[in-house]
Structure 1
Amino acid sequence: MGAGAPPAPLAAPSSGSRAPVQPWGQLHVPRAASGSVGAFKPFPSLQRHPSRCLASSFPLPRQPVPPLAQTLERYLRSLEVLVTPEELEETRQLVQEFGAPGAEGERLQAQLERRAARMENWLSDWWVQSAYLESRLPLTVHSSPAVVLPKQDYSDWRGQLRWVLGGWAGLEGSLCPMSLTSPPRQALLVEYRGGHPQCMAQYSRLFASCRLPGPKHDGLLLPPAGRRAPTFITVVRNFQFFQLEVYNSDGTPLTVDQLHLQLQRIRGLSWKTDKEPLGVLTGDHRHTWGQAYSTLMRDRLNRESARCIQRSLFTVCLDAPVLKVSDERYPSRVAAQMLHGGGSYSNSGNRWFDKTLQFIVGEDGVCGVLYEQALVDGAPIATIIDHVLDYCKDPDTARAPMTPLPLPPKLYFYITPEIKWDIERAKQNLDIGPKPHFQPLTSLLPTSPSPAPRLPYAIATHCRLLTGQVASRSDCLMVYGPQVPDGYGVCYNPLDAHVNFAITAFNCCRETHAQRLAHTLQRVLDQLARLLGESPGGAGGEGGGDVEGQP
């Protein structure tokens, strides 16, 4: 790709609107006083157990290998409603041959069991590699989930900086990121879900980690074992990145007053709005970003700046206000802002999408979290958000003596004509919208061929309805994109009085219509409430909850 060549836009999703995110809202589910809905049990959530043990001293069971016969039976059962009787019968015969004594299935099962005997989790490495690192789709919408927080009670830059201070104090006070990423690592108390202990290993991978792009597959940057953890975070405003030290040399955190002064300095150093939105490169297709990354890293200045971002504890994105839209479209607009920044004309350049953890703090009170899930899933994120929001409700306002600090260094990048062209192409790709693409998994064993017919397997793994529960004590909402072009992404957070749902689709058309699905879901929940003798729309009997937003 030579410099000066015109950027080639990607094809837009077939029919319908460009926006990859469609409405989210609150669907109200009545709860009985005992915490149940009729005969339904409460949703399990992370709990503080009275006899919790330290994570380092609590052995968890190994990931089991399911019996081969059970897996084959479930595979056939999943096909019963998806394929024709003729296709099902043909597949059943092949499955029987595959699972017969002495056949290929038995040999592969033995390999899996030997692998499981020497590993704590025989599946996780394969899963991360095939589901994330080998995917060439953009992280925006296709992979990285976002969390929309309740709108905060401020509407200017002063409140924006205050919220950052409260959020950092709550995060540092509850988890101490530096201690989690350096030896001796801080011992975490085990979290419980539904009475069962949870693995706490992901917490140590949350901070000072990053995904690294490659032309064929990506890699992961983790804190080096045996070394002192980074003591800084990255702050980005108006597409300009800064390194902000948050710990002193003795490991004590900077005071709130010190951090406030440093954030004000960053604001004063980033007032220009004519900078190249370098961050949009990280939201492009992975092979394209991998090639651009190789070009970018040829320069020493660029390498130093990029590595600073990658190795920082996390990133704070100081966003400009969200573009004004109608009240009906506002929830969808905010969800899009968290997922991809709203486009190159908005805040997409204010991101480093490869970074594992990014806190998004808008000048207008719109806040959220974006995370890269090759290293962490939703449960630790929800726990962190609960800690941060709890602290922000009652922050510690104690004052401390001021110690002079140097200016936070700005991270500069040398933009060559070739990189400039890469940025323009990434801007167009991001503004057009994600290109529909489907790459079905053809085998759970990447090194072994599967004799099963490709068509039925592709149908069985074509997930048109991707659902997930991420429970949080706060009134927040996780949102992610669909897995396939003609599908939906649905995530929900069950609370005491209502359930928050996020419903996304790539297109508003005959096959997919997020708002129609949201209204259908609301009607079904209202009917369920009447069946159970409750008033629809919540315990207060408001008569039908609102589903906000439109395509």
Structure 2
Amino acid sequence: MNASEEISSRTFGNEAGLPRVPLPTLDATCERFMEWCGPLLTTDERARTESALAAFVRPDGPGRRLHAALERYDAAEGVHSWLDTFWPYRYLGRRDRIALNANFFFLFKESPEGQVERAAGLIAGALDYKLRLDEERIPPAQQRGRPLSMAQNRFLFSTTRIPGAEQDTVRAPYTDAWPGPSRARHIVVFFRGNMIRMDVLGPDGRPHTLDELRAGLGTIMKAEAATEPSTGHLTTKARAEWAASRDALLALGNGKALDDVETALFCVCLEDFTPADTLEACDHLLHGDSGNRWFDKAVSFVVFGDGTAGINVEHCGLDGTTILSFVDALLGTRPEELSRRSGAAPQGLPAIESIEFVLDDALREDIRDAAASFAGYAAATATTTVSFDDFGADEAKRLKTSPDAFVQMAYQLAHKRAKGLTGTTYESIATRQYRHGRTEAMRVVTPEVLRFVEAMDDPAAGPEARRNAFRAAAEAHVRRAKECQAGQAPEQHLWELQLIQKRRGAELGVTEPLTLFDTPGWLKMRDDYLSTSSAPSVNIRYFGFGSTSEQCIGVAYVLLPDRFNAYLSTPRPVAEAMHAFADRLREAVRELRDLLA
């Protein structure tokens, strides 16, 4: 889309005109790959990686044939991006549990409202958004005057991940199986292990009023705790195991109950307690009581006893940037105004119906086992928060540095001091300026980063040398982030070539083992010590997700003009190192501020 072209005001009106995700040449990717993994390798590891890479890209080598197949795919009719098959595999192909491992959360800004008022307000806001989305009246997001892809917005409502034995699928509107927007009129409300279907739109598609939504929720909250164990626990299982449990549910005649949950616009999870503090609220948003969740649902609002609220998101079709704009629309305007704008009309108490699953002894035991296993898994995850209410993006800019580069350098310095090494660091970079664009995987450790962390603890290095080392590392960070935004990054490209061999190797005549993917370069570059992602919005206090490996610290951060909050998670056996990292991070931010001032 040229800058001179008119930007459509329709939600999906610019998709066809967006530029395609660039497919890098194989040679450019291989050169970048060595650049990116190089700082993590010993001389011997580097030599082994280079040798396997040379075999991969030789003129008649497997890399050339796989890349040629990817070029043909990218040029095929109906293909939006060379990543069209990568994304489903990346998310739907994972076989471990998605609860805590893949889903992410936002903790919303505080509100004076009580639980029922807050929940009703979120429902009203979401319905206003849904009705505007149905008519393509949500203005397309823009970046520097250019439109961004809005394709992910189609997965906000009535979207549910369905477990599969080998790969999951998605049940969603705007698909061949379910054309156009969802016509569902209900949500599912969870309370004390009960699942309740509540109609939030009347027969003519108009929303119930705020008063009626409150009354409906109030009725639901009079219910006794459920007597049967909650089927929601099953959504925490590893995917193939959950697929087998779902088959068992269907065999007992639970098709209608599953249908009610899977087609619901979204879930509202009402907790019957008040979190002791912010960390407890964050932890419950990440994993919570799995009997009060359906982790496969794209969107679940969670509202605690005191009105504290947030959202848990299934990641396969939705990235943080899409959810942020959705949340901003809900929280940036008063619920009364959103309800009025949606055309809400009085139509009596919403229809409420309990969703009852028929269970046998085997399924009851399955559910109890799933609940116990997940509770144990959640307990084996250590978390903490780090907050700075006197530092934010504005100060980083005053110190003449990129705010994101500043905090990423602080992470590197804190990690080196906490764990004694500089380890692989992942940062998610949004690429929604492209057609069906999602994110690019950035690897943060550069030679400049290594020199910077060394200089900071070198007694012989004075302030000037340290400042210069910081500036060089920050500039390298910004350069690499721009490369990622331009689609010039090696990891997803090489990964997709590996996946093409798995899917089509025999047909393409590429059946030999690809040693590149067993090299220290490939394995080390992707074995995270820090997995980082940011979500800047004044409407959220914290953002969070689980860690991605045995030694990894997940770092989800909200960097605003005047403050900076991070939620950290790691496996409990290495919790001590995470707490050390948090302490060193507080010191590093202070030290870098003083250094640059």
Looking at structure 2, the residues matched to 401 and 90 of structure 1 have their Cα atoms a distance apart, in angstroms, of: 69
Deviates more, 1:408-417 or 1:163-172: 163-172
**CA distances 1:346-403 after superposition (whole Å, capped 9, x unpaired):** x321100100000001112321100101011111111121122223477579798743
- Superposed CA deviations along residues 25-54 of structure 1, whole A, max 9, x for unmatched, are xxxxxxxxxxxxxxxxxxxxxxxxx97743
Match for 2:218: what amino acid?
A: Q
Would the aligned equivalents of 2:186 and 2:265 in 1 still touch at CA under 8 Å? Answer: yes
1:518 aligns with 2:579: no
Cα displacement string for residues 208-256 of structure 1 (whole angstroms, at most 9, x for unaligned residues): 1100012322111012115762111111111111111111222221222
Match of 2:42 in 1: 84
CA contact (8 A) 1:146 1:368 kept: yes
Spell out the pairing of 1:373-522 with structure 2 (5 A cutoff). Answer: 373-392=315-334, 402-405=346-349, 407-433=351-377, 443-445=495-497, 446-448=499-501, 450-452=514-516, 454-456=518-520, 457-509=522-574, 513-522=577-586
Three-state SS of the structure 1 residue aligned to 2:515 is coil
Tell me by how many angstroms 1:322 deviates.
4.0
* Mapped pair 1:75 → 2:33: yes
Which of residues 278, 281, 286 is equivalent to 1:339? 286
Separation in structure 2 between the aligned mates of residue 452 and residue 218 of structure 1, nearest angstrom? 28
Match of residue 207, structure 2, among 250, 253, 258: 253
Q: Does 1:193 align with 2:143?
A: yes
SS of equivalent to 1:385: helix
Matched position secondary structure for 1:241: strand
Task: Please give the residue correspondences for 1:7-406 in structure 2 after superposition, counting only pairs within 5 Å.
Answer: 53-58=9-14, 59-118=17-76, 119-129=79-89, 131-154=90-113, 159-173=114-128, 175=129, 177-178=130-131, 180=133, 185-223=135-173, 224-226=178-180, 229-268=183-222, 270-272=223-225, 274-300=227-253, 302-322=254-274, 324=276, 330-341=277-288, 347-392=289-334, 402-405=346-349
Specify whether residues 379 and 482 from structure 1 end up closer, same or farther in structure 2 by C-alpha distance, changes over 3 A only.
Answer: same
Aligned partner of 1:133: which letter? L
Query: Aligned partners of 1:380 and 1:218: how far apart in 2?
Result: 22
* Worse-matched range after superposition: 72-81 or 51-60: 51-60
| Alignment check: 8 A CA contact 1:82 1:459 kept | yes
Could you say what secondary structure the match of 1:66 adopts?
coil
In the TM superposition, residue 104 of structure 1 has moved relative to its aligned partner by 2.2
* Superposition misfits of 4+ residues, deviation over 6 angstroms: 396-401
Q: More displaced, 367-376 or 219-228?
A: 219-228
Offset at 1:187? Answer: 4.4
8 Å CA contact retained: 1:209, 1:310: yes
Q: More deviation in 441-450 or 63-72?
A: 441-450
Q: Give the TM-score, by structure 2 length.
A: 0.72
- Partners of 2:583 and 2:83 lie apart in 1 by 38
Structure 2 CA distance for aligned equivalents of residues 298 and 138 of structure 1: 23
Question: Secondary structure of 2:12's match?
Answer: helix
Change (3 A) 1:518 1:196: farther
Distance verdict in 2 for CA 1:56–1:427, change over 3 Å:
closer
The structural deviation recorded for 1:186 is: 2.2
| Distance in 2 of aligned mates of 1:104 and 1:196 | 38
AA matched with 2:170: L
Higher relative contact order (CA 8 A, sep 6+): 1
Residues 465-522 of structure 1, C-alpha deviations (whole Å, 9 max, x = no match): 1111122132422100111111011111111211121111112538x63222122122
Distance 1:194 1:274, change over 3 A: farther
Assess if the C-alpha contact under 8 Å between 1:168 and 1:388 holds in 2: no
| Conservation of the 8 A alpha-carbon contact between 2:198 and 2:350 | no
The amino acid that maps onto 1:528 is L
C-alpha change, 1:233 and 1:530, in structure 2 (3 Å) is same
Mapped partners of 1:402, 1:331: distance in 2: 37
Q: Residue 303 and residue 69 in structure 1: after superposition, are their counterparts in 2 closer, same or farther (change >3 A)?
A: same
- SS of 1:147 mapped into structure 2: strand
Question: SS state of the match for residue 80, structure 1?
Answer: helix
User: Structure 1 residues 424 and 57 mapped into 2: Cα distance closer, same or farther (>3 Å)?
Assistant: closer
Query: Does structure 2 conserve the Cα–Cα contact (< 8 Å) formed by 1:467 and 1:490?
Result: yes
Q: Secondary structure in 1 aligned to 2:207?
A: coil
1:548 aligns with none
- The separation in 2 between residues aligned to 1:248 and 1:222, in whole angstroms, is 21
The code of the aligned residue for 1:242 comes to I
1:15 paired residue number: none
* Conserved 8 A contact 1:505-1:513: no
Aligned match of 2:448: none
Match for 1:190: what amino acid? P
Query: Aligned partners of 1:198, 1:505: CA distance in 2, in Å?
Result: 33
Q: 2:202 touches 2:347 (CA, 8 Å); kept in 1?
A: no
Once residues 43 and 158 of structure 2 are traced to their aligned partners in structure 1, the CA distance between those partners, rounded to angstroms, is: 52
Question: Matched residues in 2 for 1:124 and 1:488: separation?
Answer: 29
Q: How many residues align?
A: 458
| CA distance in structure 2 between the partners assigned to 1:304 and 1:401 by the alignment | 29
RMSD: 2.6
Change (3 A) 1:84 1:160: same
Q: CA deviation at 1:172?
A: 2.7
Structure with greater helix percent: 2
Aligned pair in 2 of structure 1 residues 405, 96: CA closer, same or farther (>3 Å)?
A: same
1:359 partner letter: F
1:323 is displaced (CA, Å) by 5.6
> What's the counterpart of residue 591 of structure 2?
527
What amino acid sits opposite 2:557 in the alignment?
Answer: Y
- How big is each residue's C-alpha offset from its partner over 1:277-301, in whole Å with a ceiling of 9 and x where there is no partner? 321111122222122111111122x
Measured after TM superposition, the shift of residue 407 of structure 1 is: 4.0
Equivalent AA in structure 1 for residue 370 of structure 2: A
Instruction: Give the SS at the match of 2:332.
Output: helix
C-alpha contact (below 8 Å) 1:475/1:495 kept by paired residues: no
Partner SS, residue 290 of structure 1: helix
Cα 1:52–1:513 change in 2 (3 A) is farther
CA 1:407–1:56 in 2, change beyond 3 Å: closer, same or farther?
Answer: closer
Q: Does the CA-based 8 Å contact 1:248-1:254 persist in structure 2?
A: yes
Task: Tell me the distance in 2 between the aligned counterparts of 1:216 and 1:502.
Answer: 33
Identity of aligned residues (%): 26
* Secondary structure in 2 matching 1:444: helix
Check conservation: 2:299, 2:311, Cα contact below 8 A. yes
Q: Answer yes or no: is the 8 Å Cα contact 1:465–1:488 preserved in 2.
A: yes
CA 1:253–1:455: 2 relative to 1, 3 Å = same
